[in-house]
Amino acid sequence: MEFLVGVLASSFNTTTRIELEAFVLSLFAKCNGPPQEFTRCVQDFLVGLREFSGTTPEELDTYEQDKRKALNELLQGRTVQNEAAKAEFLQMDKMVPGLVPQYHPLRDGQ
């Protein structure tokens, strides 16, 4: 356990040793349980790191803008010959949560 805490402490310098010890203990406690609990524990730790990583709002805005731009290029780049196929692609995109942003023009036809 000490080895894992040491490795994590050297990798994530924004966390305290107590936080890392609690995280490692919770990992060991959940390793024999359902995989979803273990995954949730790791996700919670990573979200906590992200919240305190020092990322500025401008960096997050830039990331969101790049993501939207890439999505628009992807959606506009499809070359579909007939309207039925285009409608089918749009319907499939709507079925995947988060693929088409909530206020995107493609969602207007709901």
**88 and 47 co-located in one domain:** no
Whether 110 is covered by a domain: the verdict is no
What total number of domains does the chain contain?
2
Q: Can you tell me the distance from the alpha carbon of 57 to that of 69, in angstroms, rounded to the nearest whole number?
A: 18
**8 and 45 co-located in one domain:** yes
Strands (DSSP E) contained in the chain are none
- The answer to whether residue 68 scores a pLDDT higher than 60 is yes
Whether 105 is covered by a domain: the verdict is no
**86 and 67 co-located in one domain:** yes
pLDDT, tens digit, 9 for 90 and up, residues 48-67: 776 665 556 666 567 677 77
What stretch of H or E contains 57? helix 57-77
pLDDT, tens digit, 9 for 90 and up, residues 83-94: 666 677 777 777
Q: Which residue has the higher pLDDT, 104 or 34?
A: 34
Measure Cα distances from 27 to 3, 37, 41 in Å: 14, 9, 7
Kindly indicate the confidence band of residue 78, based on its pLDDT and cuts at 50, 70 and 90: low
Whether 106 is covered by a domain: the verdict is no
**25 and 45 co-located in one domain:** yes
**43 and 79 co-located in one domain:** no
Residue-range definition of the domain harbouring residue 15: 2-51
pLDDT, tens digit, 9 for 90 and up, residues 9-53: 888 877 888 888 998 999 888 888 888 888 888 888 888 776 665
